[in-house]
Structure 1
Amino acid sequence: MPIGYLVFLASITVFAAAAWTRPSDPAPHARYLLAASVNEIPHLFGAALLLATALAWAQGDLGGPAGLILTGVACATLAALAGLLVRSLSAPVEVRSALAASGIQPALRSRVRALLAPLPLRPLSVRRVRGIAYGPDRRQRLDVYARRGGAYGPVLVYFHGGGYYSGGRHREARALLHHLAAQGWVCISAGYRLRPAVSFSEHLADARTALAWAHRNAGSHGGDTSRLVLAGSSAGAHLGSVLALTQDLRTPHSRVDAVVGLYGYYGGYYGHGPAEAASSSPLLLPPDEAPPFFLAHGDRDSWVPVEQARALRDHLADGAVPVTYVELSGAQHGFDLFSSVRFTSVVDGVESFLDAALRRQNASTARSSE
């Protein structure tokens, strides 16, 4: 019995099975951890399994009834992985449809590179300045991404996920930061203090300070601070949404021109009662002065149900806030960990959305100055 092959096959089979489960199935957090990678790059897992199976057959390890059973399991797993790939290929259509519903002309790239090279490696054209302090705590640090040779483009401030108790500024949404920086944007990935050492008021204070830092200092990195947007994943999307919905338009360093929320949680903060939740949930904050929002969420998210994103979409729409909402078929939590077909489609959608939102802002500013 080929023990190494058996362990490898069992692992990929479990990963694929977790990716096909429903959000309502038991053990949601465990299913996310098992499915996060295979759900975004199933073809690479499939290629590895196919190669391992062929090698096991060539070495005579899969002979006899047990070998035939293992081969059957491998074929079934390969079929499941193929289904995951087909499901992920619906993302370009879903992004294009969401943009069209918002009256935005989509500009999507070829998906071939995402299939062949899905790791979110920083391109040579983008430089990163690491670990800039915006406060005394070691978590109050940020990284700046900008195009080599200079840039003069809009500014994006990004907050990472992690449920407010984990995570860091080097993990999610790398493909988004790298792509926009290569196009001339100045992208800032900001960390913030985590629980249990601090609570929501401190998270929000850190986010406000990082935003103010961007308004004051992004220009020295080539950023145009007259155009500044927020983005975040999971808890970071929650934090950015609250920041945008509570901005003081009389304070220049708190201005936000658009928001991008990726698989965000939008309810109240841990343990907050009704009175406290009113200040920590975007769903309970008035959207009267809110900027345009781009929301993307997976319908298989087992960590934060997709109903959260739908609720924020409806809340913003009720306040006449422009919302571009993308619901991704088969996507789990953390779909921005790779430069996958799914996430590169979202990145292109974000770029088209931001281009339209900032053009509308410029036109509105021009009309008001006449």
Structure 2
Amino acid sequence: MPWFFLAVTVVGAWFTFNAYLPARVRGSLTGPSFLAGWLTSELSSHHFAWQLIATVFFVWAGALEAWPGWLGLGISLASWIGLFGLAVISHHAAPAIELALEDGLGETYRDEIEPEVAKAMERPLRPGRRLIPFLLLDPEVKRHADIPYAPEHGFRGLLDVYVPKVGAQGAPVLFQIHGGAWVISQKRHQALPLMLQLSRAGWVCVSINYRLSPRATWPDHIIDVKRALAWVRNHIADYGGDPDFIVATGGSAGGHLSSLVGLTGNDVEWQPGFEDEDTRVQACVPFYGVYDFTNTHGRQLHDGLIEFLQKHVMKTSLETHRKEWEKASPLHRIHQNAPPFFIVQGTHDSLTPVEEARLFHRRLHATSQQPVCYAEIPGAQHAFEIFHSLRTTHVVRGVERFLGWAWSRELRRRAGGLQAPNASGSATTNITT
């Protein structure tokens, strides 16, 4: 029993250590390191609970009758201190988000949020969600499921619409694009904490599917996204949404696609058969996105992404089709008419490097005529906000304030009879390096 207890404590301590220093080099440990670090950093209190329960059981069973048991107990204590540190770091998301908003929008940005918008945002998050982090339902929100926007694509051509159960009229719209490396996942797997909270605050949220590789070949993915956006523009009023105020968001591959949506509004090359539809958005919130397929500036940690894209997504060589790869890269589509952006990235992301997000922010901020916010979330892994956690709560609240600011600005513009800005431009061929 003492030796078994020691082995269990070593495993628990590795989970804690890995949350601080996840593997960022290419290899067989990349996936397990991400998964372990993701769950540990977001659920540190849950990990403490299972480690404590296991320790009590082993001590009761006689684990301290020999020196390996005492060594295991010492390792457990060190692991618990580390888990407490992870919880403390999670709290740092709040000031990081606030600093990003003040830097991008101005220190008095809260004063620019209309009173009725601020009041809707003041509603507390649903209690108990951090205790049961995967409870991704809300009795105040109604989901209209499996609505076809591209029926010929079957399940991949469906979307869901989330609305306040009390109803909505002329509500701002969130357009959510799921991630999954362009090859996996679906519309009900991501961004639910954000969508549920926004729907409770009066927003209408849309979550879409799109065709996935390897069956699909780029640009099938972005064409589907824009087709879904055109459907939203034409039909969201039937669900209480405002078709003239749509914000694109998504994480990972969804962060890549939402950024492209924000930067390539009305690009007819990616609107075959619906060239006349308006596919601009009024703001964009990408989470831990991929911003440069070409790795021109060497910000990616290794060549694994390029090899993956060549084989499964682009299905062309970067060397021989560089122009097409650049068109698929948000970093190369930056222009001055981009809409307001709020870029969110974790410092400990082991799948999409923080260095690339920093570069995208710098280039966009230097070029765009609209505000660009960038929040680097301390200790956050990839996909950190897809279930409820302390860090998720802080980030959702911050994104909600950014969206409240953007919607308030739009309401003031309409009240003043001003012309709408060229929200996302028409960067059909604009390539920047």
Same fold (TM over 0.5): yes
The CA distance in 2 between the partners of 1:263 and 1:204, in whole Å, is: 18
Q: Which residue of 2 aligns with 1:64?
A: 66
The CA distance in 2 between the partners of 1:160 and 1:306, in whole Å, is: 20
Identity %: 34
1:106-148 CA-to-partner distances (Å, cap 9, x unmatched) read 9786898565443352111011122212112121111111111
Q: Note closer, same or farther for the CA distance 1:113–1:91 as it changes in structure 2 (3 Å cut).
A: farther
**How far does residue 369 in structure 1 lie from its aligned partner after superposition?**
5.2
Gapped regions of structure 1 (runs ≥ 5)? none
Counting matched residue pairs gives 370
Matches within 5 A, 1:342-353: 342-353=391-402
The CA distance in 2 between the partners of 1:75 and 1:111, in whole Å, is: 33
Q: Which residue of 2 aligns with 1:363?
A: 412
Q: Which residue of 2 aligns with 1:258?
A: 283
The CA distance in 1 between the partners of 2:23 and 2:341, in whole Å, is: 25
The CA distance in 2 between the partners of 1:151 and 1:330, in whole Å, is: 37
Is 1:42 aligned to residue 44 of structure 2?
A: yes
Is 1:219 aligned to residue 237 of structure 2?
A: yes
Q: What is the SS of the residue equivalent to 1:145?
A: strand
**How far does residue 205 in structure 1 lie from its aligned partner after superposition?**
0.7
The CA distance in 2 between the partners of 1:62 and 1:268, in whole Å, is: 54
Matches within 5 A, 1:308-347: 308-319=356-367, 320-347=369-396
1:128-175 CA-to-partner distances (Å, cap 9, x unmatched) read 122212112121111111111211321111011111011221222110
Matches within 5 A, 1:164-313: 164-248=182-266, 253-268=278-293, 270-271=309-310, 272=318, 273-313=321-361
Q: Contact 2:9 / 2:73 at 8 angstroms: preserved in 1?
A: no
Q: What is the SS of the residue equivalent to 1:139?
A: helix
Q: What is the SS of the residue equivalent to 2:219?
A: helix
* More moved, 262-271 vs 140-149: 262-271
The CA distance in 2 between the partners of 1:111 and 1:129, in whole Å, is: 21
Q: Note closer, same or farther for the CA distance 1:64–1:14 as it changes in structure 2 (3 Å cut).
A: same
Q: What is the SS of the residue equivalent to 2:286?
A: strand
The aligned amino acid for 1:220 is D
Q: What is the SS of the residue equivalent to 1:156?
A: strand
Q: Note closer, same or farther for the CA distance 1:185–1:251 as it changes in structure 2 (3 Å cut).
A: farther
Is 1:20 aligned to residue 35 of structure 2?
A: no
Q: Which residue of 2 aligns with 1:79?
A: 81
Q: Which residue of 1 aligns with 2:163?
A: 146
Q: Which residue of 1 aligns with 2:149?
A: 134
The CA distance in 1 between the partners of 2:3 and 2:209, in whole Å, is: 43
Q: 1:119 aligns with which of 125, 128, 134?
A: 134
1:73-104 CA-to-partner distances (Å, cap 9, x unmatched) read 21111111111111111011111111121223
**How far does residue 14 in structure 1 lie from its aligned partner after superposition?**
2.5
The aligned amino acid for 1:368 is L
TM-score, structure 1 length as denominator?
0.92
**How far does residue 347 in structure 1 lie from its aligned partner after superposition?**
0.8
* More moved, 317-326 vs 243-252: 243-252
Gapped regions of structure 2 (runs ≥ 5)? 112-120, 268-274, 295-308, 311-317, 421-433
The CA distance in 1 between the partners of 2:98 and 2:328, in whole Å, is: 32
The CA distance in 2 between the partners of 1:127 and 1:3, in whole Å, is: 52
Q: Contact 2:6 / 2:71 at 8 angstroms: preserved in 1?
A: no
Q: Contact 1:231 / 1:237 at 8 angstroms: preserved in 2?
A: yes
The CA distance in 1 between the partners of 2:177 and 2:45, in whole Å, is: 30
The CA distance in 1 between the partners of 2:172 and 2:213, in whole Å, is: 32
1:310-353 CA-to-partner distances (Å, cap 9, x unmatched) read 11111211213311110011111111122111111111111111
